[in-house]
Amino acid sequence: MSCCAPGAEMALDLDRVTSVLPSSQEIKLASRSLGDDIRQTDLSVPAVHCAACIQAIETALGKLDRVEGARVNLSTKRVSIRWRGDEVPPFVAALGRLGYQAHLFDPEVGEKDRTLSELIRAVAVAGFAAGNIMLLSVSVWSGAEGATRDLFHWVSALIAIPALAFAGGIYFRSAWNALRHGRMNMDVPIAVGVSLAYAMSLYETINHGDHAYFDASVSLLFFLLIGRTLDHVMRERARTAVNGLSRLAARGAMVLRDDGTRDYLPVGDIEPGVQLLIAAGERIPVDGKIVRGTSDLDCSLVSGESTPRTVALGESVQGGTLNLTGPLTIEATAAAKDSFLAEMVRLMEAAEGGRAHYRQIADRVSALYAPVVHLTAFVTFAGWMAATGDWHRAMTIAIAVLIITCPCALGLAVPIVQVVAARRLFESGIMVKDGSAMERLAAVDTAMFDKTGTLTLGQPRLVNASSIDSAMLAIAADMAAHSRHPFSRAIAGCAGFAGEPKVESVSEHPGFGIEATAAGSTWRLGRRGWAGARAAGESRYGGTVLTKDGIIVASFVFEDALRADARAAIEQLNNARVSVEMLSGDTAAACGEVAATLGIHHFVPALLPSGKVEYIETLAKDGHKVLMVGDGLNDTPALGAAHISIAPATAADVGRKAADFVFLRESLSAVPLALDVSRKAGRLIRQNIAIAIVYNTIAVPIAILGHVTPLIAAIAMSASSLLVIGNALRLQGFVLAAVTRAPSATRSGIRASVHPS
């Protein structure tokens, strides 16, 4: 069997970046003290998924010395560990032995979600009040008279007070905020309607009136809060899923003082001029210059270059690159806040133009809706005043108009569709960070793709394994297993580990390759000129070779594999009338090959991060709505500048944070799927708004003519809400159809090659 059968090596590739374990100093820096010498560390463990995982992790960690207890949270895929003492117990290693990758995450995101608990509490209070008031209202509707009715109204009024104060507070605050900044949102008519309905009902109750609308004002809040809570839960789930991915920026670094002592400092405390020790496998925290050592750097996240760069004494290195093979000592040339990574964040923030001005469709509708409704109510009041001169009657009818038009259906119309759509995308491994993201995605007409890491996987793969002598491949794999270099990993992953290692005294020569002895011969795996130039027989050998005593015995050819379904995804985008282009920091030759195999007609190579932003901004000026799909640090400003952005889960931290969508699976078909769902969601939202408006055109005349009783208001509002929810649920059917129509996850056989530098 060919070991490079499609899919076989993917599992091995997964640990590319995440296998860099956080050091114990880093863990200590990230832990927080609980007092009494006990500290707590929260780790993200994305692989946890069942009861057996929970038990294995909690038992294993509980057995460690100085660990007080461990608790797995399966919903957020985290484990929190309480431990004693100064030394960090080896829990990351223990998790690693069980087969779970663990990583630290930003402490700020570990905070409890206050908004969610407030929303759930509000729903509970509103639900309690709505249920009880409805119970009393039904008695009134079924004929309670006189003192009984007054008693019921008074009890209702009392129950409604805490509900309005607590549950309604969310809407009152939001409406007040909007008004104070001169804006209008959906919460303004809701707040006005609810509070006026309550005030009028109270007046009626005091004056022994027939009609009180306590049930309407509280059940309205209850329904709207349910929609808002679902919306929040969905978004929160996406956010924690995204935050649970590995954190790529270094949190701290080992500083070498002038007197030879070493100190682990947080990245923020590193000043220009200090010397830093960077072990193989660590990320370089700040920009610097190499003062000792030679190594290979993985720059794929920073510059988009797919091949590791060899660096030596005196060369400058950028923060965010990954040190692959040899230990380095660098002198920091910039503080973290002036380093490449921070520079990218600044560029991104500066570029964030189109998004800030975007107004959601719900807000645009409410900007028109609220004045019309309030004007109608006012005109009704004026009309009845003129016709009858009875101000009490005119007031009652005007408020009934406000209650009946209170945008229950309209308030639910948008969030409920977004919740259903986000849920469908979540099930396909796509996270939606923001409700407006789907609206913006639905409008795009141009898609920009980054090359390395987005269209391709950014990981080399051995292509000529079948033509290499299996004995040679086994020796090469034994040697390669000792190195982190991507090419070594590709070789090691390809051959698997069959039997005992046969090689001895393996040493890695950063920038060149690996040397080992076996059976009295010296073997070298690495760069051609270093390992040996003389070929036995043939002369057509590539850049990476295996030599035995200086004679080439095997050569290895690597390629950067395309992401699964890349070609199909681009075809689907073209069919959806979206023009596809490629922007890359890589060379024109490398870009050309990928573009040709994928059928992309237009690409721009060798772009700097600011160049990508400029390109997108030029398109935006011409009226195009641009979608940016990218993963690197160098794409981050472009992700911010585009109308809408999508990043794969393997993207750099800041990139993932900047993107509106993050897809977790390897297949690029996530992009057309997200577009498809967004467009359908957009259509449903417009339908829902139309339903809400039709409902109003029927209900408002009845209200203006003074025929609305609390019973009619309750029935009309529930009916319109149910209609809107039912319409939103149709999205499920749509998407299922779309999934079965989409081509199955076939891996495209076409590949682009990577030439070793």
Partner 1 sequence: MTTLVYLIPAALFLGALGLSGFLWALRSGQYEDLHGAAERILIDRDDKPER
The set of catalytic residues is: 450
Binding part of the chain for partner 1, among 33-41, 126-134, 189-197, 584-592 by CB under 8 A, reads 126-134
Site membership for partner 1, residue 55 (CB under 8 A):
yes
Options 5, 11, 147, 356; binder of partner 1; rule CB under 8 A? 147
Binding part of the chain for partner 1, among 50-58, 448-456, 564-572, 633-641 by CB under 8 A, reads 50-58
How far is Cα 688 from Cα 721, in angstroms, rounded to an integer? 10
Shortest distance, position 236 Cβ to partner 1, whole Å: 12
How far is Cα 100 from Cα 242, in angstroms, rounded to an integer? 18
Q: Which residues contact 208 (CB under 8 A, 6 or more apart)?
A: 150
Q: Which amino acid is at 746?
A: T
Shortest distance, position 189 Cβ to partner 1, whole Å: 28
Residues between 151 and 170 with contacts to partner 1, criterion CB under 8 A: 151, 155, 159
Site membership for partner 1, residue 121 (CB under 8 A):
yes
Nearer to partner 1, 154 or 530 (CB): 154
CA distances to 77, 153, 242, 432, 682 from 424, rounded to whole Å, are: 20, 44, 17, 10, 14
Site membership for partner 1, residue 63 (CB under 8 A):
no
The residue count for binding partner 1 (CB under 8 A) is: 25
Site membership for partner 1, residue 117 (CB under 8 A):
yes
Shortest distance, position 138 Cβ to partner 1, whole Å: 13
- Provide the β-strand partners of residue 604: 583
Site membership for partner 1, residue 80 (CB under 8 A):
no
Q: Which residues contact 194 (CB under 8 A, 6 or more apart)?
A: 164, 168, 171, 217, 220, 221, 406
Q: Which residues contact 562 (CB under 8 A, 6 or more apart)?
A: 455, 456, 457, 594, 597, 598, 748, 750, 751, 752
Site membership for partner 1, residue 430 (CB under 8 A):
no
Site membership for partner 1, residue 337 (CB under 8 A):
no
Site membership for partner 1, residue 135 (CB under 8 A):
yes
With b for 16 or more beta-carbon neighbours within 10 A and e for fewer, the 108-135 pattern comes to eebeebeeeebbeebbebbbbbbebbbe
Shortest distance, position 121 Cβ to partner 1, whole Å: 6
Options 6, 131, 273, 496; binder of partner 1; rule CB under 8 A? 131
Binding part of the chain for partner 1, among 118-126, 295-303, 421-429, 606-614 by CB under 8 A, reads 118-126
Nearer to partner 1, 108 or 622 (CB): 108
Helical (H) or strand (E) element with 245: none
Nearer to partner 1, 122 or 627 (CB): 122
Nearer to partner 1, 226 or 708 (CB): 226
Nearer to partner 1, 114 or 621 (CB): 114
- Provide the β-strand partners of residue 431: 662
How far is Cα 250 from Cα 666, in angstroms, rounded to an integer? 25
Site membership for partner 1, residue 521 (CB under 8 A):
no
Shortest distance, position 79 Cβ to partner 1, whole Å: 11
Q: Tell me the HSE value of 391 on the side-chain side, using a 13 A CA sphere.
A: 0
β pairing state of 626-629 and 446-450: parallel
Shortest distance, position 318 Cβ to partner 1, whole Å: 40
* Helix pair 710-741, 670-704: axis angle to 10 deg: 160
Shortest distance, position 124 Cβ to partner 1, whole Å: 5
- Residue length, the chain? 757
Shortest distance, position 22 Cβ to partner 1, whole Å: 24
How far is Cα 444 from Cα 579, in angstroms, rounded to an integer? 9
Shortest distance, position 718 Cβ to partner 1, whole Å: 21
Options 41, 76, 325, 428; binder of partner 1; rule CB under 8 A? 76
Q: Which amino acid is at 220?
A: L
How far is Cα 174 from Cα 519, in angstroms, rounded to an integer? 76
Binding part of the chain for partner 1, among 114-122, 175-183, 197-205, 651-659 by CB under 8 A, reads 114-122
Site membership for partner 1, residue 72 (CB under 8 A):
yes
Site membership for partner 1, residue 120 (CB under 8 A):
yes
How far is Cα 85 from Cα 319, in angstroms, rounded to an integer? 33
3-state SS, one letter per residue, for 295-346: EEEECHHHHCCCCCEEECCCCEECCCCEECCCCEEEEECCCHHHCHHHHHHH
Site membership for partner 1, residue 132 (CB under 8 A):
yes
Binding part of the chain for partner 1, among 68-76, 336-344, 710-718, 749-757 by CB under 8 A, reads 68-76
Number of helices (H), then strands (E), belonging to the chain: the values are: 25, 30
CA distances to 14, 312, 487, 576 from 465, rounded to whole Å, are: 20, 31, 13, 39
- Provide the β-strand partners of residue 40: 32, 82
Contact 752, 562 (CB under 8 A): yes
Helical (H) or strand (E) element with 547: strand 544-548
Options 8, 21, 38, 54; binder of partner 1; rule CB under 8 A? 54
410 exposure class (CB count in 10 Å sphere: 0-12, 13-18, 19+)? buried
Binding part of the chain for partner 1, among 34-42, 71-79, 97-105, 280-288 by CB under 8 A, reads 71-79
Options 1, 5, 50, 386; binder of partner 1; rule CB under 8 A? 50
Residues between 360 and 399 with contacts to partner 1, criterion CB under 8 A: none
Options 40, 73, 195, 574; binder of partner 1; rule CB under 8 A? 73
Shortest distance, position 56 Cβ to partner 1, whole Å: 10
Site membership for partner 1, residue 575 (CB under 8 A):
no
Site membership for partner 1, residue 208 (CB under 8 A):
no
Shortest distance, position 212 Cβ to partner 1, whole Å: 16
Site membership for partner 1, residue 561 (CB under 8 A):
no
Site membership for partner 1, residue 143 (CB under 8 A):
no
Binding part of the chain for partner 1, among 51-59, 474-482, 613-621, 666-674 by CB under 8 A, reads 51-59
Binding part of the chain for partner 1, among 69-77, 103-111, 220-228, 375-383 by CB under 8 A, reads 69-77
Contact 515, 524 (CB under 8 A): yes
Site membership for partner 1, residue 69 (CB under 8 A):
yes
How far is Cα 477 from Cα 479, in angstroms, rounded to an integer? 5
Rg (CA), the chain: 32
Nearer to partner 1, 225 or 627 (CB): 225
Nearer to partner 1, 166 or 358 (CB): 166
Shortest distance, position 128 Cβ to partner 1, whole Å: 4
Phi, psi of 464 (to 5 degrees): -105, 30
Site residues for partner 1 per CB under 8 A: 50-51, 54-55, 68-69, 72-76, 117, 120-121, 124-125, 128, 131-132, 135, 147-148, 151, 155, 159
